[in-house]
Every structure is written in C-alpha cells, then in structure tokens.
Amino acid sequence: MARITRMAFRYPVQAGLALAATVAAALMQLSIPVILGRAVDQTQAVAAAKAEPETLYWIALLLFLVSVGRGIFTLIQNYTAESVGHSLARDIRNTVYEKIQSLPFSFHDRTHSGDLITVGMLDLEGVRMYFSTALVRSVLLGLLIGIGATLLLSTNLVLGLLALSFVPFAGWRSTVMRLALRRTWLVLQERLGVLSQVMEENLAGIRVVRAFASSGHEMEKFEVASKSALELSHERIEIRVKNTSAMTLAFFAAMGLVLFFGGRKVASGEITLGTLATFLTFMTILQMPVRQLGMMVNGYARASTCGSRLFALIDHEVEVDDPPGARDLEITDGTLKLENVSFAYAGNIARNVLSGISFEARKGETIGVVGPPGSGKSTLMHLIPRFYDPTHGSISIDGQDIRDATLSSVRQAVAVVQQDSFLFTTSIENNIAYADPFTEAYQIRGVAESAQLHDYVLGLPGKYGTIVGERGVSLSGGQRQRLSIARTLMMEPAVLIFDDSTAAIDAGTERRIRSALKEYAKNRVTLIVAHRLASLMHADRILFLEHGRIVEQGSHEELLKLRGRYSDLHNLQMRPSAEMLTKKEPGP
C-alpha cells in the first residue's frame, strides 16, 4: 500500500487538491454542528425575549453557505480522487502490459493466460479504487473524529466520552473485518482466475467443443467454477454486513446514551439545549463515515491483496534479458555456431532436453533437423533466437555470443516460422507486414509470391485488405502457414528457421515454396525442422536428433549409406509410396 501511495503522488496536483478539498470539506462539515447549536440557543433567547428573529436569518444564511461550500469541496474531492485513481490505473496497466511483453517463454510455459488477464483487470481495479475509497476517506474520517473529539471533550467531558464511545468498538471490528476480507479476497481472486481460465480455454477451443458436442460438459465446468466464486462472494458480503451492522449499532447506542444523559443535563441546567444539539448533530454527521468504514477497510484489504499480486508480476525477474552494456549484433558473414549446448527446462533441471549439441552453419547453407517426437528439435530452434538460454554451452553468430547482444538485434537476426501459425485479427497485408508496418506494397507482394500465397490472395474480394478472423480462423491451416512464412521472410534475417512450418502444406505447394526460396537462402543460414523427410532431403547437411543428442549427421546420400536411424526412417516413410507404385504396375 505504501508503494501504491507513492505511485498515486506521481500526480501531486490532483492528489494534493483531493486531500486539500477533503480537509476543507471536513472543516466545513465540523462547523455545521456548532452553527446549529448556536442557532438553537439563539432561537430560545429570541423566543424568551419575544424579539424579532433577524439574527436567525443570518445564521440560516451562514448555514446555507457552509453547506454549499462543503458540497463544492466534496465534489472537488471526489472528482480529483477518481482522477488520481484512473491515472494510477493507466500507469500500472501500461507497466503490467510492458512487463508481459518482456517476460520469457519459460514464464508463459508455467503461467496461464487467464491468470494474467485476471491480474491485469480485476487486481488493477482493486488498486485503482485505493486512493479514493481508502486513503482519502481515512483522512476525512480522521479529521472528523480527531477535531470533533477535541471540540466535544473540551465542551463537556462526559458527553464527549459517550459520543465517542463507539469509536474503539468500531476500530476493533474494522480490524477484524479487514483481516477477514483480505484473506477471502485473495482466495476469491484465485477462484476468479480459474473462472477466467475456463472461459479463455473454451473460447480458444470452441471449434473442438462443438465438434465433440461437449457444450454440456463445458457448462458444468463453468458452473462449478462460477458457483465456487459466488459462494465466497456471499461469505465476503456476510463478513462486511455483519461487521458494518455491529458498528452502526454501536453508533446508535452511543447516540442514545448522549440523548439520555444530555437531556438530563439540559433539564438540570448544566448545559444548554444548543450544546446538546451540537453533540447530536456531530454524531449524525459521523453516521455516514461510520457506515462507510466497512467500504474503507475493504478498500485497504483489496489494495493490499491486489497490489501484492500486481507487483509480484511487475517485479518478476526476467531470466532472458539484455545484459549490462549489451550491444547490437553486427552481422558480417552470418555464421551460426553452437558449442556443446545443453538445456533443461526450469523445474526439471535434473533432465536435459538437449545435451552436447555442436554444429556450425555458414551463409548459404541449409541445415535439416530430424528426429522422433520429443527429441528436442523445437527446443533447439527456440534457443537460437534466445527464447530460452542454454543451461551449458554457447550460441554465437559471427563469433558474438547471443547472450551478450541485445535481444532486439538477436530477434532481428534470427527469425522463426513456428508450428503455431498465429495471426492477428487484421488484414492479410498487415499480418504480412507485422515486423515492418511501413513496408512497401511491392515487398509484401514479393514475399507473398515466395510463400505461394499471392495467387490465393488475388482471388479474395478484398485482396490484401481482406480481414482474417480471430487467430486466422477464416483461413485453412496451409494458408495460415504460408502467410506465416511470408511474414517471416519480410524480416530478411541472417538465420531463417522453419520449425515444421510446412506440415499443413501439400507436397506440390511445398516444392514450389522451396524452389522460390532458393535464391533467398543464398544470403543466409537456413534451418529446417521437419518430420517429413521430403521437406529436408535437399539440405546441405542433416542432423538426426535422439534423446537430445546428435546421433547422425551428413547429407541425405551420406546418411542413407550409413544405414542407421535416418535410413530406417527414410525406408519407413518411402516404403508406402513404393508399395503403391508396385501395386499399380502390371505383373511380369
């Protein structure tokens, strides 16, 4: 909460104006009981003397002006306090979003996107309300009770103590309530996070849900998560209502005591009726802040809980980041070199996914990578653009360790066409030009032709301006992959990686893409990961990975002569085609 408060005072004008208006409104509100008390005494004096009530007109005017002034300052307080809250929310929202952009793949591997959405929306709202509902109200209540208590105790000690007798009880109950609300709010946020996860997964996989007619099952999952959050919300309401009601009861009990004993003092002549009216009016003014005490405590509870979750994300250590004094990569020959590279995922350091990987690739070379599922092919490709850092060993480009270079220059030098062809809900043109939004139209057309996408785009009603659906849902799998290839070619990287990115493309189109990319590949290192050997048989060198190690390497012909694992995989994939041809040929 101290950190949130410091952030709020980044806006000193709005925050200072809100607090100043709060002080002014409180002072004017405290003057109302004094004015009313004097008005009552003056009325009695006028009635006893049967004089003209001219002085009452001035008191009434003064009371009206003070009330208007209090209203104006309250308006300023509410407006500026809300302004501070929304400005604070904007700052934190931008900070959280920027942090999410910098967090490495390893963080997203173990964090559900639904949790991040919950933190960025619900937790942010709890922090936003802190300044107006908690901090400013604390100042207001502190002034009302502090100054009012001084005035009342100095006027009459006994009645002053009776008037303030509810404060210790209210303070105790508010503390109990705050602790309970903080505990339950943390649990509620977790349950709302689960609810967001269920919804986000359902929306992302809605086609699968419909295809398997599992709407009923999904509704049951959502109902369980929703009911769990609802039950805890009811528990929180019960905590707040019970404690607020207890504090309100204590307040009215104190008012009853003041009325009883004060009435007796008025009857005995110890105090005037105006003094009793001052006490009762002051307590009436305190009634609303006491009722809002629960809201104020809830504001503190939400801010402390939500703030801890928000700042845990903001302060999360970035494992893959620019080192101190990092410089941009300087590409000359574009030589890629891996030396004794090993890697293990966080939380499973006992088992290496990759072990002792070493190879070198020069400009113009095409390296194929093949192996059984789980052999570490995609993981290896993710190390080169520094999505992860190796556990051991080094990766360099032109002799420069990529860990010593800026991330932006590494990602500019190494481009990956990934298996998941994610597209944005925008035009085909914007998706292709994502890396450089200001690129020329002829360049977009050129990479689209290389990716064998241009002819298809020309057949669309809006051509390159056609909007693709969410995640490219309006395109087929092969079209999405071709668009993803075109987007990557736009970057013109020094190292180009195809991570099984032609799996959804038919063999004929793949051959045309490969032919179109021949000239393009002369000026860079090309790495191709594939399960289909036909996709990489043309490579200058092929690496066969098994259990995270290179067990065979060489050209297609050299590996066939070894009669090892690559040869076995080749025979397995090519035998069905050979058998089909044999069946079609007439017998001898």
Name the residue ranges covered by the structural domains of the chain: 2-314, 336-584
HSE, CB side, 13 Å, CA atoms: give it for residue 459.
4
| 179 pLDDT higher than 90 | no
Q: What is the pLDDT of residues 195-214, one digit of tens each?
A: 877 777 777 677 677 777 77
H-helix segments, 111-165: 113-118, 124-128, 130, 136-155, 157-163
**CA 585 vs CA 125, 242, 376, 395, 588: distances in Å:** 73, 88, 41, 51, 9
Residue 577 predicted with pLDDT over 60: no
Query: Rounded mean pLDDT of 516-531?
Result: 81
Of 226, 239, 234, nearest in space to 192 by CA: 226
> How is residue 74 written in tokens?
């309250």
**Are 541 and 367 contacting, i.e. CB atoms less than 8 angstroms apart?**
yes
- Residue 257: is its pLDDT beyond 80? yes
State which of 283-287, 338-342, 516-520, 533-537 shows the largest mean pLDDT. Answer: 338-342
Mean pLDDT (the chain, rounded) = 82
% residues pLDDT > 70 (the chain): 91
Instruction: Give me the pLDDT at residue 35, please.
Output: 86
β-pair partners for 341: 357
The arithmetic mean of pLDDT across residues 387-413, rounded, is 88
Q: Is the CA virtual torsion 305, 308, 310, 313 positive or negative?
A: negative
**What is the model's pTM?**
0.69
pLDDT at 582 exceeding the cut of 60: no
Q: Determine which of 98-112, 225-239, 246-260 has the lowest per-residue pLDDT on average.
A: 98-112
Question: What is residue 133's DSSP assignment?
Answer: I
Which CATH code is given to the segment(s) 2-314? Answer: 1.20.1560.10
Cβ density class 201-221: b for 16+ within 10 Å, e for less: bbeeeeeebeeeeeeeebeeb
Instruction: State residue 291's pLDDT score.
Output: 65
Region 519-539: what's the mean pLDDT? 82
Angle formed by the axes of helices 12-49 and 54-102, to 10°?
160
Is the model more confident about 502 or about 223?
Answer: 223
pLDDT for 152: 82
- The yes-or-no verdict on residue 280 having pLDDT over 90 is no
Query: In degrees rounded to 5, what are phi and psi of residue 366?
Result: -115, 125
CA atoms 305, 307, 310, 315: torsion sign = negative
Torsion of CA 92, 96, 97, 100, to 10 degrees: 170
Give the pLDDT score at 503: 63
CATH 3.40.50.300 is the classification of domain 336-584 = yes
Band of the pLDDT at 224, cuts 50, 70, 90? confident
What pLDDT, on a 0 to 100 scale, did the predictor assign at position 474?
A: 62
Report residue 73's pLDDT band, with 50, 70 and 90 as the boundaries: very high
* Mean pLDDT, residues 473-489 taken together: 77
Q: What confidence tier does 13 reach under pLDDT thresholds 50, 70, 90?
A: very high
Residues 69-98 have a mean pLDDT of 89
pLDDT at 580 over 50: no
Report pLDDT for 588. 39
Helix-helix angle 293-314:136-155, to 10 degrees: 150
Q: Which pair of structure tokens corresponds to residue 371? A: 């192996």
Q: Which two tokens stand for residue 39?
A: 């008005």
Tokens of 520: 């393009």
Residue 319 has pLDDT above 80, yes or no: no
Per-residue model confidence as pLDDT tens digits over 355-373: 889 999 988 888 999 888 8
**Coil, helix or strand for 165?**
coil
Looking at residue 151, its pLDDT comes to 83
Q: Average of pLDDT values for 568-586?
A: 61
Strands 354-361 and 336-343 turn out to be antiparallel
Please write down the long-range contacts of 265-269, taking CB distance under 8 Å and 24 or more positions apart.
Answer: 265/156, 265/159
- Predicted confidence band of residue 52 (pLDDT cuts 50, 70, 90): low
**What pLDDT shows up at residue 23?**
92
pLDDT band at 47, cuts 50/70/90?
A: confident
Pick 77 or 105 by higher pLDDT: 77
Q: Mind giving me the DSSP string for 268-298? A: HTSS-HHHHHHHHHHHHHHHHHHHTHHHHHH
